[in-house]
Structure 1
Amino acid sequence: MTSPTPPTEPSYADRTFRSPAGMVGGALLLLLVGWLGVDALIRGDGRTPWLALAGLLTAVPLIVAFTLRPVVSVNKERIRIRNPFRTITAPWPAVADVRAGYSTELFTHDGAKYQLWAVPVSLRQRKKAARQQSRQSQDDPYRRTSVHADVRDTKARIAGADQTVADLREMAEQGGGGAGGAGGAEAVVVRWAYEVIAPAVAGAVLLVVLLALG
């Protein structure tokens, strides 16, 4: 008699964080650079097509790196940060804190710090949220619950990046990390994005050589 197979634990898709403004801006820049570059390749004379090719090799990877590439993917085991030139994978027990100042940053228990490019901090949104909180406190000078505010709707009164940081901090605490964690045995893995760096460097070198040959 065979024993019943234990049920497998369901797997959950990663939750991702991106910058919509960065993605839109990157797509527009790619369209502009592509249009100008292809036009120079087709209609250019002399060294112009070569200069256009070098410019495209340099500009396109950098635009993709700084606008379309950044993303933060999280699940219950780890956080993966894909920045312009690096990908950082950290298990939650290794994460000490996530903070948002002038930029969003992740700190590990071994003292390392990594910036989250996909979660930009908007000082304008932060000031707007602060003004909303100030108006709500004026509605209730005795610190009683305002009849115009829903106390359960905390996300509406927090700037976008700050809310994302709060969510990531909560996930770190649930995964065994956070300020109260002792740190995990698993190491943080950092991988350089050579698929972005190599063509950009090749294009820059070609552009310098062409300009030097004058």
Structure 2
Amino acid sequence: MTTPEEQPPEPQPPVGGAEHTDRVFRSHAGIGSGALLLGLVGWLCVDAILAGEGRTPWLALAALILVVPLTVAFTLRPAVYAGQDRLRVRNPFRVVALPWGQVAALRSGYSNEVLTRSGAKYQLWAIPVSLRQRKSAARQEARATAARAAEREGRSDHAGRGGRGGLTARGLGGFGGLGGSSGPVSEGPVRSGGDRAMDDLRELWESREKAESAQGEVSVRWAWEILGPALAGAVVLGILLAVG
């Protein structure tokens, strides 16, 4: 399962260069952790199936059928597809298709969510919130603001004294010299990866929400390809445990 401390998702470039191909947001940390968990579970269960005795191979097989779909659901499966006409959210157990005209808000708090005009709310599992990254971005923004203020002050001081033949701040090695910044200071705000992804979604929503092709109804589909095997594994495992 993804955690608040994982790396933020990054939008993947369109495949084939198509102009209107959906932008895809996924959690790289979730994919990595899912691959590791699947490898560990597969190794343990296959070893138990091949080397176990009595009921052990059957219990291991039932556990494998239960755990693998759940691991895929919470790590590899989540994705957000942002197209010109709709937002498609693939969560662990559901796929939600929302035309931009039906989106009421994209909200970021302790989780990233999309709200519809009918009042429904859906969490964006593929774009997790990292409080650590938000704090780090806030510290970077504070340092960048201080650096910009110092640079403006240095330029003002340079302009005031340069006309009188005085020494400039750069001549003393202040800005761009000893202990100073050697490059330009970014003028844009510093944002965490998840917040940048939400900014991109909001920008696309605001530009497309009134488009005629972006109207329609919200559709929700249950992921039976995940729920079916997981339920079957849970039933088999429960029967084996009950029989003793």
Whether these two folds match at TM > 0.5 is yes
1:109 match: 117
Q: Is the 8 A contact 1:137 1:143 kept in 2?
A: no
What secondary structure is seen at the aligned counterpart in 1 of 2:96?
Answer: strand
CA distance in 2 between counterparts of 1:150 and 1:45 reads 64
Give me the CA root mean square deviation. 2.1
What secondary structure is seen at the aligned counterpart in 1 of 2:21?
Answer: coil
**Does 135-144 or 52-61 show the bigger shift?**
135-144
1:172 match: 205
1:199 match: 229
CA distance in 2 between counterparts of 1:140 and 1:12 reads 38
TM-score norm. by structure 2 comes to: 0.76
Tell me which of 177, 185, 196 is aligned to 1:163: 196
Q: Which runs of 5+ in 1 are unaligned?
A: 1-9
Identity of aligned residues (%): 53
The residue type paired with residue 241 of structure 2 is: L
2:243 match: 213
Find out whether 1:121 has 2:129 as its counterpart: yes
Change over 3 Å in CA distance of 1:185–1:92 after alignment to 2? closer
Q: Is the 8 A contact 2:62 2:234 kept in 1?
A: yes
Q: Is the 8 A contact 1:100 1:161 kept in 2?
A: no
Change over 3 Å in CA distance of 1:144–1:115 after alignment to 2? farther
**Does 132-141 or 108-117 show the bigger shift?**
132-141
TM-score norm. by structure 1 comes to: 0.86
Find out whether 1:138 has 2:174 as its counterpart: no
Which residues in structure 2 correspond to 1:1-214 (within 5 Å)? 12-141=20-149, 148-151=184-187, 153-154=188-189, 157-176=190-209, 186-214=216-244
The residue type paired with residue 111 of structure 2 is: S
Aligned residues: 197
Change over 3 Å in CA distance of 1:145–1:85 after alignment to 2? farther
Q: Which runs of 5+ in 2 are unaligned?
A: 1-17, 155-182
